Amino acid sequence: MPQRRIGAFEVSAIGLGCMNLSHAYGAPVSAEQGERVLLAALDAGVTLFDTAALYGFGANESLVGRVLKAHRSRITLCSKGGMTGQPVGPGGALQRVIDGRPASIRRDVEASLQRLGTDVIDLYYLHRWDKQVPIEDSVGEMARLQAEGKLRALGLSEVSTATLRRAHAVAPMAALQSEYSLWSRNAELGTLAACSELGIAYVAFSPVARAYLTGTLRDVSGFDAKDIRRAMPRFTPGNYANNLKLLDGHAELAREAGCTPAQLAMAWLLHRGPHVLPIPGTTSVEHLHENLGAASVRLSADLIARLDALFAPQAIHGARYNATNSAEVDTEAFAEGSAPGA
């Protein structure tokens, strides 16, 4: 497995996003299947494992911690806080809450350390910037926890170039994690270049566009009631029908490159710069190995240019998030009218 750098860490160029095992796309897989995927990734040379307090309201951290504890020295363990499940209302049911106050950040870190079964988290992200709290305050508390030896490196998720620079002025950011793929190219509006300039790794989640770029997701009418894609405009039947029209061209370019469509999508990301690291998620050992095969795919400049043109932002129908979720992120967006997929 080729290696890339995140701060002081040398890690596998392709990591594993662990969310799918416990969260987001319907009912989670069994603990046994989750363990199989995690250990298969480890055996295949993956050393970058990414989880969060939010995923399964702590269940994902507990799974990752239990399975990988015996291999702790071999991996770079990443988690996120500032967006967690908190009891809300009379029944006390857990709901997703964004809370970046310093005391809440400290509470989240302590809880994550317990679930992960470790005394230090290698890379800890602010999962979402709480816009009610200055980014300097949230990052300042993360820096204090780092000084106490509870965190080794710090990162942010889904923030703009301006917010990234503000945070980096308070404490060095090792990584920015945001959605980046052929159909979500907001990174190219500033943060990708800023990360290169500042020596910050760009960790790309959803590198195969939540299964769209695998070419296997043709019908979006059967999503589970808890599948988060149900609320995403790009996956509404009308928008998705238009987005499907791009996949034949994508499949043809994959054949030309001698790889699968999923591998082509991740190889494209790896070619965006040495600071870019995709973290695909999967519940299947077979798909895991397919994803990791992208590390050996080489793309010509001409093929990359044709991919860029095929998936130009104005060709994508539907926004990344609905209005509520869009308001929760701080990423740059394409100007209204220039791209339907802002």
**Which residues are designated catalytic?**
55
Contact between residue 304 and residue 229 where contact means Cβ atoms under 8 Å apart: no
**Size of the chain, expressed as the number of residues it contains:** 342
- Sheet containing strand 76-81, edge to edge, reads 16-17, 48-50, 76-81, 121-126, 151-157, 173-179, 201-205, 276-278
Contact between residue 231 and residue 322 where contact means Cβ atoms under 8 Å apart: yes
Locate 314 and state its tokens.
């104005």
Rounded to 10 deg, the angle between the 285-292 and 261-270 helix axes is 40
Residue 341 makes CB contacts below 8 A (sequence gap 6+) with 183, 184, 234, 313, 314, 315, 316, 317, 318, 319, 320, 334
β-strand 201-205 against 3-6: which pairing, if any?
Answer: unpaired
Cα–Cα distance between 266 and 138 in angstroms, integer?
Answer: 32
Cα–Cα distance between 45 and 236 in angstroms, integer?
Answer: 37
**Look-up of token digits 């950011």:** 173
What is the phi/psi pair of residue 107, to 5°?
Answer: -60, -45
Identify the helix (H) or strand (E) that includes residue 4.
strand 3-6
